[in-house]
Amino acid sequence: MKKIINAVVLIAVFMFASCNQEYTNPSSATQTQVVSDVIGLITIANGLSFKYSISRLSPNYTIPTTSGLLTKELLVLNAGNTDEQNLFLGGASVLGNNGVISNLWNQCNLIRSNADLILSNLKIASDQGMKGALQAHASIFKAMALGNLAMFWQQAPIVNGTSATQAGGTSAPFVDRIAVLNEAISILEAARTELAKAPISPDFSAGIVPGIDYLNTINALISRYALMAGDNDKALSAANLVSLATTVKSEFRHDDLTRNALFESSFGNRNVTEPFNTQFSLPTALQTPANDGRRAFFYSAGGTLNLGRASFFTSNSSVLPIYRAGEVTLNKAEAFARKNDLANATTELNKILQKLPAADSYGIGANQPAYSGENTPGAILDEIYKQRCIELYLTGMRLEDSRRFGRPASERSRNFLPYPFSERDNNPNTPADPAI
């Protein structure tokens, strides 16, 4: 991540712009300067990685924290952390002035907007290998930003408004969450096509922050968002294109300057949040045996240490996967189950249940017996949900999964979030807040 530090001053004007309905940089002169050549585009691309992954403002903090508190994956250790405490309480305690959800909303919209700066200036790159790589990088971050918004809000903008100071200026329009997910999928599919035209440019690889496997990440994200949108065929097709070899990793990399956000803010201390329990906050009927290898992977031994100081959150320099191989396999299992192909659903499910740590890129392995429950869609989907809660612990997808699988409302304290005041105060198109 050290390459990012050198770019911070240059990208700051993009990344810390006012969070209003435009989501644009107020300094057009600086914007023109930065996007005038390939080096400028790479700088913005590195800025996307920085913005997404570093600090308590970033999605890598706000996504798992928001979902974790609303679904009781996490508890609050110090009620003086008012925004986190209100998320834990849920319901009417979560208001539009909540700092965690405001950061989630604003940062994702800024990432989306800045990714568009790259996507709208790809003509600057004359080399196809550079163009395809830039498009892939920007598309991944734009898609993740959109996907995050769709996981937590019923509607969101997918384009910027125009400046109110300009004649005919308009505020950013909202579309429903399925349209947001479909936009993310479309962006990724276009990037996949462009990426296939030429090998990634060595100049791009030399200038970009390392860690992302572009093609596998694109297909994994298409599978993720297609599943959320209810397109099981597309989810399955994309998942089948992802390599699950243990050598394949796609991750955010950190060090003592560019720190792992959740470790730095929460799990490196015992002051903010901590895992609710060591059973993945699952109801009794879905709990996993004590010898499930993932319990030792995801939880520390406790004592004076935060229970979450394990897995991907053991130090400032802990890597954080962009996707986990287990997600891809469980996407297949769910898609098959929803298509009533129970035999194939069970086959994929057993790959998770019987997986040994050595068979996973990051050492996640249940080492449990094969599925022996009822051979019905409902029973198999319940088991898939259980395995997603464990295998994808603290990825921030628990709230989305809880809704999609029709889990009891008692297992989450909200369905969707209210819109931040920072949006409502600046954009008259902001919808009414959901009841809960």
C-alpha neighbours within 13 Å on the C-beta side of residue 206: 6
Specify the pLDDT at position 216.
99
Contact 359, 369 (CB under 8 A): no
Contacts of 283 (CB under 8 A, 6+ apart): 411
Instruction: Output 344 or 169, whichever has higher pLDDT.
Output: 344
Residue 26: pLDDT band (50, 70, 90) is very low
> Residues 29-54: what's their mean pLDDT?
86
In order of 55, 181, 345, the CA distances from 173 in angstroms are: 29, 16, 39
Specify the pLDDT at position 29.
38
What's the mean pLDDT when you consider all of the chain? 93
Q: Strand, coil or helix: what is 330? A: helix
pLDDT at 1 over 90: no
Q: Report the percent of the chain where pLDDT is more than 90.
A: 88
> Residues 377-390: what's their mean pLDDT?
99
Specify the pLDDT at position 32.
59
Question: Which residue, 379, 381, 417, is CA-closest to 401?
Answer: 381
Specify the pLDDT at position 169.
64
The string of pLDDT tens digits covering residues 122-176 is 999 999 999 999 999 999 999 999 999 999 999 999 998 875 444 556 899 999 9
First to last CA, the chain: 38
Q: What is the phi/psi pair of residue 74, to 5°?
A: -125, 155
> Residues 51-58: what's their mean pLDDT?
97
- The encoded tokens of residue 92 equal 């009417």
In order of 85, 266, 391, the CA distances from 69 in angstroms are: 8, 13, 18
Specify the pLDDT at position 420.
99
What sign does the dihedral 123-214-338-406 (CA atoms) show? negative
pLDDT at 409 over 60: yes
Specify the pLDDT at position 303.
84
pLDDT at 256 over 50: yes
Give the H/E segment covering residue 378.
helix 377-391
CA dist., res. 353 & res. 216, Å (int): 23
pLDDT at 6 over 90: no
The string of pLDDT tens digits covering residues 201-211 is 999 999 999 99
What is the number of H-type helices and E-type strands within the chain?
Answer: 18, 6
Q: Report the percent of the chain where pLDDT is more than 70.
A: 90
CA dist., res. 188 & res. 185, Å (int): 5
Cα pseudo-dihedral 38, 41, 46, 52, rounded to 10: -160
Per residue, the 3-state secondary structure of 75-118, as one string, reads EECCCCCHHHHHHHHCHHHCCCCCHHHHHHHHHHHHHHHHHHHH
What sign does the dihedral 123-127-128-131 (CA atoms) show? negative
> Residues 289-293: what's their mean pLDDT?
97
Q: Which amino acid is at 99?
A: G
- The encoded tokens of residue 236 equal 């399955």
Specify the pLDDT at position 36.
84
**Which of the listed CATH numbers 1.25.40.390, 1.20.140.10, 3.40.50.300, 1.20.120.10 matches domain 1-212+250-266+394-430?**
1.25.40.390
Beta bridge partners of 273: 76
pLDDT at 378 over 90: yes
Residue 112: pLDDT band (50, 70, 90) is very high
pLDDT at 95 over 50: yes
Residue 325: pLDDT band (50, 70, 90) is very high
Contact 48, 137 (CB under 8 A): yes
pLDDT at 295 over 90: yes
Contact 139, 190 (CB under 8 A): yes
pLDDT at 213 over 70: yes
Beta bridge partners of 416: none
CA angle at 263 for the pair 436 and 269, rounded to the nearest 5°:
95
C-alpha neighbours within 13 Å on the C-beta side of residue 432: 3
